[in-house]
Structure 1
């Protein structure tokens, strides 16, 4: 048997055992020995260099998308004054939607060994779109929509899923920790990019030169990321994309995870979109309201760095259940937001627990993937459904809020729908428990 086949068999065997056992638990001592000899090294310069490069990809991807609030404010007040805030918001919504939904394309291409091409093309599209955006003139909504909404979103979509999935090639025991460190690039970018753009666009630099500076900064980081990321040889997928989709449609755990994530994320985005507006409408200083999102993302960054270590003890699914239930409770408690203290408490609390879910969703998909050569395709299938959550969340919450700003209605709705989503993860735990009861010999040693 070749080494390549041995790696494939080791991955497949270990993953099938882990699916029946508690999700997120470390492999048994025997499987660890096999993996240490033939599988991922779980460390080393090549592996941690890849983590660093993927971290930068997330920093420049979803970390930059989170800065659209600065663009929304600048476009509405100065640059695109002939267009309504609702129309302008579609630029950011489309960017976020494409960044997730394009994984339906980038996932299967990653499985077929196109990782480097995806990273190069996606990085070039992000860089070119930002530089092109700097040449748009006031009132040219269609150019901003194309460059920032379509091209940039498509480029981020090509890099998003592969830059997380490639970590699974280098780690087994430390996989959740490594993926958590990678996804921590998003909240760090959510802090740095908005502050930088706010000072550039609203300062003396102006729009064109400010975007030039931002584009240069992002392009340099993307170049560094591409130089650091490396792949390991994995089995070439033998199943087509449709075969993988049919397999997923017959897996109860995968269906529950996808439905739960889609429902949960409808409510998940409400604090991200409306915390700043909520604090402003309650008479809190505008400058402090801007930094409310920075406070939230700072807590999110700390939480993501710790998630991987905590998940090693609790299990991926158990920690996902705890984080989603806590998020639902905090969203409902936004009804009580009235002053600076409540904004700080809610921002810190929600930033910390919400990041746990985001950091664990990819490891959860990985745990449910019996053959890692299908990981990209499975991520694409899952994220295709969850992408609609971000697209629908803002408009639904805005409609419920109404012109009279009745905050209790969207807070209650989003909290309850998030709780329904979290119940799907609880159902996953019950299914796994029943599987373990039917196979007591496999479940021995579980806690």
Structure 2
């Protein structure tokens, strides 16, 4: 059976009544058929539905802490992201017992403590605890609940909603890079941390009280560690996508300001390059989200990840002046920062809303390894053979990530075909044979089929 044949999708349609429906891949899902059967809650398609790179460039150029190595600074940046993954089980427990808003307020308090504490750091291990571990846990307590909540409010426009919401991190990163870079130059790194701490406190307290979940309707599975998810091939493929993407993206995000100074640009120009990368994130994510809903979420995830690798190899490698580097930063921002805005819609597409929190927790935990060691690996490569090896490494990681997503796409196509075949041939004596035929899901046909997935 071809995936273009009518199949039943797992995602509910948007409308006043709950339900699933028969839909061809690529067919518009704005008008459900009259015989759709009401089986599950419908998201209402609306409702309530950071700049370590600057500090890293400052620390690398100004020996702020005695005897601190570049590798240690890189590990701090990695910890600030990987610790968010390590916090995932605690976040799940907090959400289960205290709810989403209290969990977000805990994250807000940790965020303020991490940045304000970092401003008084006098030894490198102080920075490990504040900017590294504490900030990472704050990020986890803020990001994970908010990310899991948003898909509950949308169905047909889920990726667009995630694109618009995640554009905030790009636009916020733009402001953070420009403001933090200027404050560091004018007032010093300590006051930069304090000002950002109070800004984060004010904004996140407001957002914590405004954000609402739909857990009563969706009834998600909130396990502290759903280890059984590691036995599912689709979750392994999602992890592979995230693993390779993080190895590339973290290096790109943290290295650009320092790369700018390495080719003769000023620290101010380096902060602008980092800001333009974040501008690309802010501009590109809503567009990617919109077209993900139109052309398929897994399709766009694979395409954008592949383009990230191509752009790094084709533009970043020869970028030796300010203009070309700005162009690369903007282009790379539009393409490369899509993982954390697409992972939840793609995961929901693959495992469903009920398994989303459990699967997402496992994914976050596994991604702590690449998040921690990506930048240290890159800095060691730069120290050994210059930035070219690091640039090739980043491009290669993105291409491997794209390959993982393309294999995931093949799996999804097979699942859709198998489900449709089971329903069509439920009463056939050859039903067992039909199911056996679809056990082999990685085939040239499913890999090369062009259609909305």
The whole-number CA distance in structure 2 between the counterparts of 1:254 and 1:314 is 22
SS of 2:320 mapped into structure 1:
coil
State the alpha-carbon separation in 1 of the partners of residues 117 and 275 from structure 2.
Answer: 28
Indicate how the Cα distance of structure 1 residues 343 and 29 shifts in structure 2: closer, same or farther if over 3 A, else same: same
From 275, 282, 285, the equivalent of 1:294 is 275
CA contact (8 A) 2:45 2:157 kept: yes
Give the equivalent residue in structure 2 for 1:218: 200
Question: What is residue 72 of structure 1 aligned with on the other side?
Answer: 56
Listed one character per residue, the Cα deviations across residues 131-171 of structure 1 (whole Å, up to 9, x for unaligned) are 333344xx333333222222222122112111111112222
Q: Which residue of 1 aligns with 2:112?
A: 127
Query: As a proportion of its length, which structure holds more helix?
Result: 1
Q: Does 1:268 align with 2:253?
A: no
2:232 pairs with 1:251:
yes
Give the Å deviation of 1:303.
0.4
Work out the number of aligned pairs and report it.
Answer: 411
1:20–1:435 contact (8 Å) kept in structure 2: no
Query: 2:146 maps to what in 1?
Result: 163
Distance in 2 between residues matched to 1:147 and 1:24, nearest whole Å: 50
Taking structure 1 as reference, are residues 200 and 327 closer, same or farther at Cα in structure 2, changes over 3 Å only?
Answer: same
Query: Structure 1 stretch 280-289 or stretch 422-431: which is displaced more?
Result: 280-289
Q: Distance in 2 between matches of 1:364 and 1:410?
A: 29
- 1:308 corresponds to which of 280, 289, 293: 289
Structure-1 separation of matches of 2:45 and 2:181: 40
Give CA deviations for 1:205-237 in whole Å, capped at 9, x if unaligned.
445544332222111101111121112223545
Confirm or deny that 1:40 pairs with 2:20: no
Aligned-residue Cα RMSD (Å) equals: 3.5
Asked if the contact 1:106/1:157 (under 8 Å) is kept, the reply is yes
- Distance in structure 2 (CA, Å) of the matches to 1:404 and 1:198: 28
For 2:422 and 2:283, locate their aligned partners in 1 and report how far apart those are by CA, in whole Å.
36
Higher RCO (C-alpha under 8 Å, 6+ residues apart): 1
- Give TM-score scaled by structure 1 length: 0.81
1:22-41 matched pairs, under 5 angstroms: 26=29, 29-30=32-33, 39-41=42-44
* Structure 1 residue corresponding to 2:326, chosen from 344, 348, 352: 344
Q: Is the 8 A contact 1:24 1:315 kept in 2?
A: no
Given that residues 276 and 292 in structure 1 are in contact (C-alpha distance below 8 angstroms), is that contact kept between their aligned partners in structure 2? yes
Q: Does 1:173 align with 2:156?
A: yes
The question of whether the paired residues in 1 share the 8 Å contact of 2:246 and 2:367 is answered with yes
Q: Is the 8 A contact 2:87 2:141 kept in 1?
A: yes
Structure 1 residue 28 displacement after superposition: 6.8
Deviation track 1:228-260 (CA, whole Å, cap 9, x = no partner) reads 111222354578556x431x2343222212112
Match for residue 353 of structure 1 among 311, 322, 335: 335
Q: Is 2:412 the partner of 1:432? A: yes
Does the C-alpha gap of structure 1 residues 359 and 239 become closer, same or farther in structure 2, counting only changes over 3 Å? closer
Residues 440, 73 of structure 1: alpha-carbon distance in 2 compared, 3 angstrom cutoff:
closer
Partner residue in 1 for 2:300? 319
- The CA deviation at 1:108 is 5.4
1:191 matches 2:171 = no
1:151 to 113, 134, 148: 134
> Quick one: distance in 2 between partners of 1:322 and 1:363?
16
Q: C-alpha distance in 1, partners of 2:23/2:359? A: 19
Distance 1:269 1:394, change over 3 A: same
1:312 shift after superposition: 1.5
* Deviation string, structure 1 residues 51-96 (Cα, Å, up to 9, x no partner): 5xxxxxxxxxxxx2xx112222444516424422322333222111
- Which residue matches 1:99? 84
Q: Deviations over 1:400-426 (max 9, x none)?
A: 223452x33232233223212211111
1:252–1:337 CA distance, 2 compared to 1 (3 A): same
Structure 1 residues 107 and 26: CA distance shift in structure 2, 3 A: farther
Q: Distance in 1 between matches of 2:265 and 2:45?
A: 48
Whether contact under 8 Å (1:21, 1:432) holds in the other structure is no
